[in-house]
Chains A and B, each alone.
Chain A
Amino acid sequence: MGKYIGKSVYRVEDDRFVTGKGKYTDDIVLPGMVYVAFVRSPYAHARILSIDTSQARAAEGVVGVFTGEDECGQYGVPCGWQVNFKNGETMREPKQPLLAVGKVRFVGEPVAVVVAESMAQARDAAELVQVDYEELPAVVDPKAAMEPGAPLVHDEFPDNAAFDWCLGNDRAEVEAALANAHHVTELRYRQNRLAPNAIEPRSYIADYNAVEDKWTLYTATQNPHLIRLLLCAFTLGIPEHKVHVVSYDVGGGFGSKIFHYREEALVTWLSKQVGRPVKWTADRSEAFLMDCHGRDHVVHARMGFDAEGKIVAVLADEYCNMGAYLSTFAPAIPTYLHGTLFQGLYTTPLIHVNVIAPFTHTTPVDALRGAGRPEATYLLERLIETGAREMGMDPVEIRKKNFIPPFDGVETPGYQTQVALQYDSGNYEGALNKLLSIVDYEEFRAQQEAARKEGRYLGIGFSTYIEACGIAPSAVVGALGARAGLYEVGHVRVQPTGKVSVYTGSHSHGQGHETTFAQIVADMLGISIDDVEVVHGDTEKVAFGMGTYGSRSLAVGGSAIVKSVEKILEKGARIAAHKLECAVEDLEYSEGKWTVKGTDRSVSFGEVALTAYVPHVYPQGEEPGLDFSSFYDPVNFTYPFGAHAAIVEVDVETGKVQILRYVAVDDVGNVINPMIVDGQVHGGVVHGIGQALLEEVVYDSDGQLLTGSYMDYTMPRADDVPFIETDRTTTPCPHNPLGVKGVGEAGTIASPAAIVNAVVDALWPLGVRDIQMPLTPLRVWQAIQKASNGGSQV
């Protein structure tokens, strides 16, 4: 360990963020720039009978008005992942046009676009576009979409299913095990649908330069190169080297800025049409309508136990909403990022998961922080705790009976699951034991007992989770239907003066790459962190990249940088050996200099850097320069895990849940910057509190979005959040050079189950067995009333 790795180095990016100097896409104003406003469908499902743009075209300041008839992006927006039916049939993939043609399929779908000299003029003119619709019946619930006679989202797909997929052991075998089990716990629930709510709305500026026949696209995205690839090769069919994608600071994504959206392609297309730079920034209302939502599974889950509490089988049947079209990663979320996690931390011998993914007349659903893994964790952790209580066992003891024993992936091999993955390393009981020592579990149970006598209802809930991060080994995901490789690029350029520029293909939208990556490079080279600059988000500066999602930046992006630094040190050693007139093997490198072992003769990193660029005295046959790029393709996913506990008090008169304590013990492998890791856990847990207690996207039966503003969609606020206690265990990842696993999603994955388990624990004596998220006071109160009325509806 050097000076920086493992230290809470202050984030270098925060100076500009907290002083309002961050550079976001919407801050950019280009000469001659025009603005667009979209005309969006007010209906969830309707036939477009006619569109009259004449008034809008005549309005003041209008540069152009375009509709789906204008052949913009005739190929449509592609989907990046193919998941097939279990019978082998190919996934059903509707065309997603840039502007609706013939029909609209969700509220907010873009129908026409107005380009004008000012934002206000564009919006005013958009109001003048007259669209005549014939409203058609809509379906919003994923299970209802599969009922016979349900309205069809795409006429060519007769039962609304995008796919019907399964994974794991033979279903009959799993069902037989459940039939013979000592006890079976069964839950039916809905994973509430969430909106992503990045603080910065999506924003795009496209600038077509006729002289070079080239576009610059400024975009708030999580993956600039991927957007360029999809935009050029699929949506617009333009040469990839003719588009320069720039993504400066991005104010949060949570998954919603991974995807390639229609607006992005449209502004690019429009810029050439009108010959001017074209800008669009979503307003909050458009963000609710168009930014892909997350979750929305209708679940039937069963877990069978033997008499000792050992899990004998897990069976899950889910309807997972795709929305009206397949977004970029949508098919992968409820399948390869969800079904593959049903082993959890347990030795379950038989697992089967079946996922039916219907189209509905709603906003497309795709990855949202955790993406498939919070849903898997929720299912397992609700089942195991419910099972324990039903059998009169302790929720901690039952977990300990089922944990996979510790393994490090080096001395002891990785753990092969029933659902396609091989875990890299883990010590699951270790994390839970640490958690218990912090919580003081025995003491809490005594307090709980005493409080109940006073009529106060306290509860504790646990969630022991695992996630698959560090996405991903390309060959593996390729075999699973990914249409891209998921390696990362790290380019390290040593300047002649010894300053270092690091170009990473991963992308920061708040994660602190500029600090973490600089810590690694500075330590490896033994130089000051001030001499390292991290550059990202520009396709002409960074050779290539796959971007940031799935907690992959450090494990994959960081490892690519490590590979390049290693190459620099190797070449630097050859230059140093030449200067010192010794053999490379005689040198050792530390604190920024190469020293001849056992002597005081040394040459500094700066001197070697200068020599590489001023190669007057130089090894024969060695190329000048000190500049290396590496592609790193991981050999496996990484598998962070941990144990979280929530302690709550429920006011049984009002149904209000208060979180008294939240304790998170995470094992994310080695830690580069503990402060950033804690920050990610805090943010993740708060996100999970939102899902557990507050947030839900609601459509009415006509497909109208009822939660389209912060009047109706409740985000967690400061007074909803307790002090979050964090701690860690460390089980290094055995297969990447940093031994790191990733932390961006851990809190979101673990926390909903912990909180709901805690509330059910508090209310178990009243007969409450399950409550649907979000646990609003109304729902909690209703659950209490229903239980006290002997199960009848209030």
Chain B
Amino acid sequence: MKLRGEGLVQAPVERVWQYLHDPAVLKEITPFVTRLDRVEGNTYTSESEVKVGPIRGTFRGKLRIEDIEPLKEFAVILEQGSTMGQSSVEMRIRLQEEEEGTRIEYEGDARMSGLLARMGQRLIGSTVKKVAGEFFTNLQHRLQEDWA
């Protein structure tokens, strides 16, 4: 399933980039995420508590960041599993400095299996949009708190 969207954060691209690569910040601002620990380099272990309609449970998995082009673009590869099934997401994130701040675009593909695929498929599109919306809002708040 294709995922795509964008958001605007009122902060310079350097700061946004820094926050997007700080696991402590990411854990705090990303909905559902309860743990995000660096294993080594750009590899992390993750845990999230998901509760969306019939989809609920603890998802555990690995997150990898690749193809880093500083201040411009990177790829996130997330593989998570729970008893509801497995999900893997490959997402490219692009940053672009604009007059009002930094535009963040994401574009990628999500694959699901098990109960997640049977029950969750139709919820994923809207859920990702909602999660992304909250993520951008939280990021904005955090940047304002830290740099105001």
Contact = CB atoms under 8 A, between A and B. Distances in A.
A288 B114 CA distance: 12
B118 A704 contact: yes
Contacts of B34: none
A410 interface: no
A107 B83 contact: no
Contacts of A709: 54, 118-119
B121 A42 contact: no
B112 A704 contact: yes
A775 interface: no
Interface of B: 54, 57, 81-83, 85-86, 111-119, 121-122
Given A126-B83, A127-B83, A700 B117 contact: yes
12 contacts: A42-B81, A107-B114, A127-B82, A127-B83, A285-B118, A702-B111, A704-B118, A706-B118, A707-B118, A709-B54, A709-B119, A711-B119
A712 interface: yes
A218 interface: no
Interface in A682-712: 700, 702, 704-709, 711-712
A700 B83 CA distance: 20
B60 to A, nearest CB: 10
Given A43-B114, A127-B82, 7 more contacts: A40-B114, A107-B113, A107-B114, A127-B83, A700-B117, A706-B121, A709-B118
A708 B112 contact: no
A706 B117 contact: yes
A40 B82 CA distance: 12
Contacts of B83: 126-127
Nearest to A712: B122
B122 A42 contact: no
Contacts of A711: 119, 122
Nearest to A288: B118
Contacts of B113: 42-43, 107, 702, 704
Nearest to B57: A127
Given A42-B85, A126-B83, A708 B111 contact: no
A178 to B, nearest CB: 43
B90 to A, nearest CB: 15
Interface of A is mostly: loop
A67 B67 CA distance: 41
Interface of A: 40, 42-43, 107, 126-127, 285, 288, 700, 702, 704-709, 711-712
Contacts of B119: 285, 708-709, 711
B111 A42 contact: no
A712 B114 CA distance: 15
A711 B82 CA distance: 22
Find the residue from B83, B112, B119 having the highest chain A CB count within 10 A. B83
Contact of A285 (B86, B115, B121): B115
Contacts of B116: 42
B48 to A, nearest CB: 16
Nearest to A128: B83
Given A42-B85, A42-B86, A126-B83, A708 B115 contact: yes
Nearest to B112: A704
Given A42-B85, A126-B83, A705 B118 contact: yes
Contacts of B54: 709
- Tell which of B57, B81, B116, B117 has the most Cβ of chain A within 10 Å: B117
A707 B121 CA distance: 10
Contacts of A702: 111, 113
Counting chain B CB atoms within 10 Å of each CB, which of A107, A704, A706, A708 scores highest?
Answer: A704
Given A42-B85, A42-B86, A126-B83, A704 B117 contact: yes
Nearest to A705: B118
A702 B117 CA distance: 10
B69 to A, nearest CB: 30
Which 8 pairs, one residue from A and one from B, show the smallest C-beta to C-beta distance?
A708-B118, A42-B114, A704-B117, A127-B83, A42-B113, A42-B85, A705-B118, A42-B86
Contacts of A126: 83
A711 B57 CA distance: 20
A702 B113 CA distance: 9
Contacts of B112: 704
Contacts of A288: 118
Nearest to A707: B118
Nearest to B1: A700
Nearest to A43: B113
Contacts of A706: 117-118, 121
A40 to B, nearest CB: 8
Nearest to B83: A127
Contacts of B81: 42
Contacts of B111: 702
A42 B80 CA distance: 13
A707 B85 CA distance: 15
Contacts of B86: 42-43
